[in-house]
Amino acid sequence: MTERTLAIIKPDAVERHLAGKIIQRIEDEGFQIRAMRRIHLSAAQAEGFYAVHRARPFFTSLTQFMSSGPAIVLVLEAADAIKKWRTLMGATDPAKADAGTMRKEFAQSIERNATHGSDAPETAAYEIGYFFAGIDLI
């Protein structure tokens, strides 16, 4: 089933000029890019985006990192896009990520892990709506 997911190229990857390589890989793997924006989240916007993690010990550090510089948000479309993008990203912790995944190749740590992807259809709907209006998705 054709599905959409939200991807983020996180500030650590944008800062190191890895966006082009990551976007190339996204296209090579057969995703359609339905929308894309460069953003710089405020702390409050990062806290809203990651609200589900607010009780976690890493929440403050994570939201500070995510608001520390520009990031790129994308809506990706493909068959089974949510799982397909999470597989391409690899494990959250780059030390555990498989060879050839985005996080194995580009992440610096479990927090500065280069990319984000929605984890379920409901999350994808919320996360896409967080950055894009319906009119942006073409």
Q: Give the type of residue at 95.
A: A
> Considering 17, 40, 53, 116, which one is annotated as catalytic?
116
* Residue 110 interacting with ligand CMP (CB under 6 A): yes
Residue with Cβ nearer ligand CMP (104 or 135) = 104
State which of residues 16, 32, 58, 64 lies at the interface with ligand CMP (CB under 6 A). 58
Rounded Cα distance, 102 and 120, in Å: 19
* Residue 113 interacting with ligand CMP (CB under 6 A): yes
* Residue 92 interacting with ligand CMP (CB under 6 A): yes
- Identify which range of 11-19, 25-33, 94-102, 106-114 contacts ligand CMP by CB under 6 A: 106-114
Look up residue 8 and give its two tokens. Answer: 């983020």
State which of residues 4, 84, 103, 116 lies at the interface with ligand CMP (CB under 6 A). 116
Q: What is the dihedral of CA 52, 17, 43, 109, to 10 degrees?
A: 50
Q: Which residue has the tokens 């994570």?
A: 62
H runs (alpha helix) in the chain? 11-15, 19-28, 43-49, 59-66, 81-89, 102-106, 121-131
Residues 9-48 contacting ligand CMP, CB under 6 A: none
Angle between helices 121-131 and 81-89 (to 10 degrees): 80
- Identify which range of 23-31, 34-42, 67-75, 107-115 contacts ligand CMP by CB under 6 A: 107-115
Told to judge if 116 belongs to the known catalytic residues of this protein, a careful annotator would answer yes
Per CB under 6 A, residues contacting ligand CMP are 53, 58, 62, 92, 110-111, 113, 116
